[in-house]
Amino acid sequence: MSVRRLRNLLLVLIATVTLILYGCSDEDPTSTSSAGFAGLGQDVDGFQDAGSNSSLTFPADHSAHPDYRIEWWYLTANLEDESGEPLGLQWTLFRQALMAPSKRPEPTPWAADQLWMAHMALSQGEQHQVAERFGRSHSQAQLNTTQNSQAGVVANPFHAWLDDWQLKANDEADNRDFDNLTLTAYSGEGDTRFGYSLTLTAEGPLVLHGNGGFSQKAANGQGSMYYSQPFWQIEGDVTLNGETKTVSGRGWLDREWSSQLLDARQSGWDWFSIHLEDGHKLMAFRLRGGGDDTDQAQGADYRSGTWITPEGQATSLANSDITLTPQATSAVAGRDVPTRWRLEVPSAGLDMTIEAPHANRWMTTSVPYWEGEVVVTDHASGEPLGEGYLEMTGY
C-alpha cells in the first residue's frame, strides 16, 4: 500500500531540501519529522480531505488531484527474462502540493504549485539499480500538456510523465483507456545505462480498497483514496548494465492520494502485494503505531488489507483479520530490516511465509527505503504459492 509512497513524499520535501540546498546529507530523514514518516502525518490545513464519503469516478480519477496534498502512481512488477531468471522492477511518480489550493501563485512562466518526484529501480540477482528525478508544474488545467510542463498526469487518454519517464495509454492498442498502457524510463549512459520499455495489459478490473476506495490508515479515521490494478500482464525490454533483454511477467499498479495519510504517531509501514499462483491477489499492510484511538505516544500497530479473487472481487480485511510476524532480519545499509515474514489471514485460509531472496533492495533515493521482490511459500509445507513485492519504511 501506499504508505510507502507517503514517505516518498516526505522524501521529496526533506530530500530536496537536504539534497539541493545542503548537498548530500547522511542524516536519517525520518528523524527530522515529528509528524509520522516523512511528514505524512501533517494536518490537513487548507487541503481537501480524503474521507469515507468520497467516491471515485473513472477515467477522471486516474489524473492528478492537486487539491490533495500527496499522490502517487506506483507500479511494481515480477518479471522473468528469456532464460527464466527472475527480475523485479519499480516505477513511481509522486506528486506533492507545495501549498494549499487557496495560496497558489498566478500561473506565470515557471511558477509552480506542484512538486514531482519519480523513482525507478531494476533488480536482478544481486544487482539493484536505482534512479531518481524531480520536476515542477502548475496545476492550472490548460498547462498540463507535455509542451507546457516538465511533469504531470492527465486522464483521457491517460498520460503520466516526468521528463522522458512516462506511463501512458498505448497508442497501438485498441485503446480501452487504462487497460492498455506503455511504460518507458531510462537512466545513465553507456555501461551504466538501465531502464525499460514495456507494454502493460490489464487482465482484470480495477480494485477499490477499503470502503469504496477510502482506505483507513489509522484508528482515528485518518486515511487515503486508494485503488489498484493488480492484473497487469507485462511484456517488453529491459536494459541493465547496457545490455537489453526481453522480459515478461505480472505487474501491480497502485493509485493513492490523500491530504493526511498517517496518524502523527505512526513511524513507518510494511506493505505487501502478492500474486498467488491460483490467480488470487492479496494486499496487506501494517502501520507501526496509531493502531488504537488513544493519546499514547506509540500506539499499537494498525493492519489492513484486501483479498482479491481472480475475477477481481475484493474483500476488505480488518485489523483483526491479519496476523503479521517478522521472522528474520538482514543487515541492509547499516540497519536491520525484516526480510522473512509470516502472514496469516485465517478468513482466507492463508498461512504463508514471505521471504525476500535478495536483501540488497535498499532504495538509495533522497528519502531511503526498502523495496524488493518476495517469494511466497506455504508456512507449513514450504510449497511455493506465489510472488510479489514488499515495501518497508521507517527502519
Interface residues with other proteins (CB under 8 A)? Answer: 13, 16-17, 19-24, 98-99, 103, 105, 108-113, 115, 134-136, 146-150, 161, 163-164, 166, 186, 189
Whose Cβ is closer to other proteins: residue 134's or residue 272's?
134
**Burial letters for 335-370: b for 16+ Cβ neighbours within 10 Å, e otherwise?**
eebbbbbebbbeebebebbbbbebbebbbebbbbbb
**Pick from 357, 183, 252: which is nearest to 2 by CA?**
252
The total of other beta-carbon atoms located within 10 Å of residue 387's CB is: 22
The DSSP call for residue 218 is S
Whether the link from the prior residue into 338 is cis, omega within 30° of 0, is no
The residue among 6 and 225 lying less far from other proteins, judged by its C-beta, is: 6
User: 22 vs 31, which CB is nearer to other proteins?
Assistant: 22
* Residue 18 CB, nearest approach to other proteins (Å): 9
What is the closest distance, in whole angstroms, from the C-beta atom of residue 24 to other proteins in the complex?
8
Residue 16 belongs to what H/E stretch? helix 16-16
Q: How far is the CB of 104 from other proteins (least distance, A)?
A: 9
Backbone φ and ψ for 170, nearest 5 degrees, come out as: -75, 110
CB of 19 to other proteins, least distance (A): 5
User: Cα–Cα distance between 385 and 24 in angstroms, integer?
Assistant: 42
CB of 147 to other proteins, least distance (A): 6
Q: Which is nearer to other proteins, 192 or 315 (CB)?
A: 192
In the complex, least distance from residue 238 CB atom to other proteins, rounded to whole angstroms: 16
At residue 364's C-alpha, the angle toward residues 291 and 95, to 5°, is 65
Q: Which is nearer to other proteins, 17 or 219 (CB)?
A: 17
Nearer to other proteins, 103 or 176 (CB): 103
